[in-house]
Amino acid sequence: MTVQKDKSGEVPFWKRKTLREMTLPEWESLCDGCGKCCLNKLEDWDTGEIHFTNVACTLFDDKTCRCKDYDDRFATVPDCIKLTPEDLHTYSWLPDTCAYRILDEGRELQHWHPLVSGDPQSVHKAGISVRGRTISEDGMTPEDWEDHLVDWLGEPVMRK
């Protein structure tokens, strides 16, 4: 099996480095901008299964699929989770399409990932992102989230 090289003839960093060996800019560039991690999720207490809603974090920008205040997000959302290579295996709520999860599991990045395609819009063009399909959590309680379960993410969904 041959390893694909980038346009400069080099093996891309995500194929030659472990997640722990990556620089912070390399680590951050793994985020494809899908926005799925910014959606509120519910856990079925009986099965432990995670279910996605279309209810997004108060800082989520539905048009860009990015955090409105990424650098200072913990000031507004103290329970926002900072992904780290050391703790990645504990994040069972990461979607199957997440590059961090994909690489941690030894799989290849998908063709639509911006690092592979070279196009930051490819995740949206492929229909992988949540762009234009979310509502803000502002004014909602976690009890309201059950009314907003979704199955269009290709992730499990709890049926009522």
Q: Would 8 be classed as within a structural domain?
A: no
Domain assignment present for 128: yes
Q: Is 160 contained in some domain?
A: no
| 14 is a domain residue | no
Residue 43 lies in a domain: yes
- Decide if 87 is inside a domain: yes
Q: Does 148 fall in a domain?
A: no
Tell me what pLDDT residue 8 has: 67
Whether 147 is in a domain gets the answer no
pTM of this structure? 0.86
Q: Cβ–Cβ contacts within 10 Å for residue 126, how many?
A: 17
In whole angstroms, how far apart are CA 127 and each of 20, 86, 98?
A: 30, 30, 14
Q: Over the chain (160 residues), what is each successive 10-residue block's mean pLDDT?
A: 61 96 97 95 89 95 96 96 92 91 96 96 94 96 94 54
- Report how far residue 106's alpha carbon sits from residue 101's, in angstroms, rounded to the nearest whole number: 9
How many structural domains compose the chain? 1
- What's the pLDDT at 1? 42
Tell me the residue range of the domain where 128 lies: 19-139
